[in-house]
Amino acid sequence: MSDNVYVADVVMTRFDKHPDKSIKQLTAEAVNALLQSSGVDVKDLEAAWFSNSGWGLSQTQHCIRGQVALAPIGIQGLPITNVENACAGGSTAIHSAWTAVKAGLYDLVLAVGAEKVYFPQDRKKMFEGFMSGTDVEFAQSMIEMMKADAKKKAEEAGASGEEKKGGHSAFMDIYAMGARMHMKAYGTTQRQLAVIAAKNRANGALNPLAQFQHEMSVEEVLADVQVAYPLTRAMCAPIGDGAAAALIASERGLKKLDGARPALVRASMLASGSLPGSGLEGISRRLSQAAYEKSGLGPEDIDAVEVHDATAFGELLQCEDLGLCPVGEGGPYAESGATSLGGKQPVNPSGGLECRGHPIGASGIAQVYELVTQLRGEAGRRQVEGARVAMAENGGGFIGVGEAAMCIHILEKV
């Protein structure tokens, strides 16, 4: 068994709409950049985990996605495991790689995620693909109910944003319903959600790899087209493509690398969601407590955080569930500036899913890329001063009343 496991190196492509690039091309771009950055030769890799969610739905490439994507760049013959875990796929690939290294099976392995979500020629199919991340037997009827409720609440609130045309992911309706429930229970406001989105726009403007690189004011966020009340378009993650890749190593594996700048993995945790009546606590609270216990740290020890903000409400909720602020106070906490760069505990310095983008199978690894960059002190104008410990929360799918899968990683500067 390996005592310590490290993220030896990690890279990502710029997330954006790449209609001219295939999954194979995106994968090659990320993996080749990783090999060049780390100085690792393909023959030194002992195993690989490949994360992707939609290649089968969009282009019928099922079953052996990793083998198909990695063979053209010379990664073949070694154990390749295909990972499909909705939006948590990338972080699940890292967790799986970490588990194998921790068990002493390997010393140097690859975790890679690649996704194409943007298919302008078939927008209906593009959005229907998101439904597969739910329990499809009853999800459609629930989504229709949520849409009707959103329309009613928007009318009651006098929301002025033009309604978005052309469709949206089913998850936006789920997040919108959660936001409305939170507003009713705790007095959270639409403006507080806009504060979070505007903060992430400011961070994304400082990130050369982000899909969105322009700022928006709170007022501009509120005035943007309405997706599902209280969410406007600027509060929601965009559709886009991209890839990210990480090198996971043991102490022995690190010795094979010249000039490595690793981050120690203090905790790598994976859990599944649950149905109502299971007796289990919500997945974020349950998993974050396990991560804190495993790492010997608490929420107060975390210097920088990347959370799964498919919407601004997602960030607000995760700040509460991860223990960064008390339950019900996520809105005021954001308004206080605590989660902004220069604040008490910056959240999503990358711009988050809302601005960095969300190519599903790559997002979890992109979160780790941002945090390793922060721990190295190489984040430029978005640098979190003095960052030594960082945490990534990556959720995926929907079951019951929460995420179907989730990974949390806590990393420490070496």
Instruction: Quick: pLDDT tens for 292-330.
Output: 999 999 999 999 999 999 999 999 999 999 999 999 999
Q: Assign 170 a pLDDT band (cuts: 50, 70, 90).
A: confident
Looking at the structure of the chain, the number of domains it has is 3
Question: Taking the CB of residue 11, how many other CB atoms lie within 10 A of it?
Answer: 26
Angle at 99 between CA 387 and CA 294, to 5 degrees: 50
> What is the 8-class DSSP label of residue 245?
E
Q: Assign 150 a pLDDT band (cuts: 50, 70, 90).
A: low
pLDDT at 361: 97
pLDDT at 271: 98
Q: What is the CATH number of the domain that holds 269?
A: 3.40.47.10
Helix (H) or strand (E) holding 254: helix 251-254
Average pLDDT, whole number, for the chain? 93
Using alpha carbons, select from 388, 228, 389 the residue that is nearest to residue 310: 228
pLDDT at 219 over 90: yes
Is the separation of the CB atoms in 371 and 94 below 8 Å?
Answer: no
Q: Give the tens place of pLDDT for each residue, 52-71.
A: 999 998 899 999 999 999 99
Tell whether 141 and 221 lie within a shared domain. Answer: yes
pLDDT at 204 over 80: yes
Give all strands (DSSP E) within 119-241, no chain letters. Answer: 226-228, 231-232
% of the chain surpassing 90 pLDDT: 84
Tell whether 97 and 176 lie within a shared domain. Answer: no
Q: Annotated catalytic residue: which of 87, 236, 319, 325?
A: 87
* Domain range enclosing 308: 265-413
What six digits make up the tokens of 295? 């790492």
Helix (H) or strand (E) holding 6: strand 5-12
One-letter amino acid at 10 equals V
CA-to-CA distance for 253 and 4, rounded, in angstroms? 11
Tell whether 32 and 98 lie within a shared domain. Answer: yes
Question: Taking the CB of residue 42, how many other CB atoms lie within 10 A of it?
Answer: 15
Query: Does 259 fall in a domain?
Result: no
pLDDT at 164 over 60: no
CA-to-CA distance for 138 and 251, rounded, in angstroms? 48
Cα 261 versus chain centre, distance: 23
Q: Annotated catalytic residue: which of 18, 168, 358, 409?
A: 358
pLDDT at 216: 98
pLDDT at 137: 73
Query: Does 294 fall in a domain?
Result: yes
Q: Assign 1 a pLDDT band (cuts: 50, 70, 90).
A: low
Q: Give the tens place of pLDDT for each residue, 394-405.
A: 999 999 889 999
Residue 358 annotated to the active site: yes
Is the separation of the CB atoms in 67 and 27 below 8 Å?
Answer: no
Tell whether 110 and 145 lie within a shared domain. Answer: no
Tell whether 86 and 202 lie within a shared domain. Answer: no
Tell whether 133 and 82 lie within a shared domain. Answer: no
Using alpha carbons, select from 219, 409, 200, 229 the residue that is nearest to residue 322: 409
CA atoms within 13 A on the CB side of 262: 22
Residue 182 annotated to the active site: no
What is the model's pTM? 0.93
pLDDT at 166 over 60: no
pLDDT at 397: 94
Q: Which residue has the tokens 């319903």?
A: 177
pLDDT at 2 over 70: no
Q: Give the tens place of pLDDT for each residue, 118-142.
A: 988 776 666 666 677 777 776 666 6
Which residues fall within 8 angstroms of residue 53, CB to CB, at 6 or more apart? 84, 85, 86, 87, 89, 115, 133, 360, 361
Query: Does 260 fall in a domain?
Result: no
CA-to-CA distance for 200 and 234, rounded, in angstroms? 10
Tell whether 371 and 390 lie within a shared domain. Answer: yes
pLDDT at 168 over 70: no
CA-to-CA distance for 70 and 260, rounded, in angstroms? 24
Question: Taking the CB of residue 232, how many other CB atoms lie within 10 A of it?
Answer: 26
